[in-house]
């Protein structure tokens, strides 16, 4: 029983170290975004905030981003990535 407790303590310390380092890296990043990214006529403008793009602008945005899929279609590789468990995603990001 003492060996198991020792292993658990070691495991908790290692995981704690990885989590703390991951959080440090995560919160040290500066993220800059562009509202309406990809929209050729409305990106980074007040008119894109809080209003619909409209059919023509949506088509232009899809073409501008090179998105060949039908509206509301999510490619299978994107679904698989999003459905991964959070720990696997964090560890793969941190350890790569």
What span, in angstroms and rounded, lies between the C-alpha atoms of 41 and 53? 10
pLDDT for residue 46 is more than 90:
no
pLDDT, tens digit (0-9, with 9 covering 90-100), for 14-45: 677 677 777 777 777 777 888 899 999 999 98
Provide, rounded to the nearest whole percent, the portion of the chain with pLDDT above 90.
21
pLDDT for residue 1 is more than 60:
no
pLDDT for residue 77 is more than 90:
no
Q: What's the N-to-C CA distance of the chain in angstroms?
A: 35
Name the token pair of 55: 């059919």
């Amino acid at each position: 029983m003492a060996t198991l407790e020792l292993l658990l303590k070691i495991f908790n310390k290692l995981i704690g170290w990885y989590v703390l380092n991951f959080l440090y890296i995560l919160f040290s990043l500066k993220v800059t975004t562009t509202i309406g990214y990809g929209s050729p006529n409305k990106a980074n403008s007040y008119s894109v905030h809080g209003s619909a793009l409209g059919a023509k602008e949506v088509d232009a945005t899809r073409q501008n981003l090179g998105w060949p899929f039908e509206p509301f279609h999510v490619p299978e590789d994107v679904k698989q990535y999003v459905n991964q468990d959070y720990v696997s995603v964090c560890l793969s990001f941190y350890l790569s």
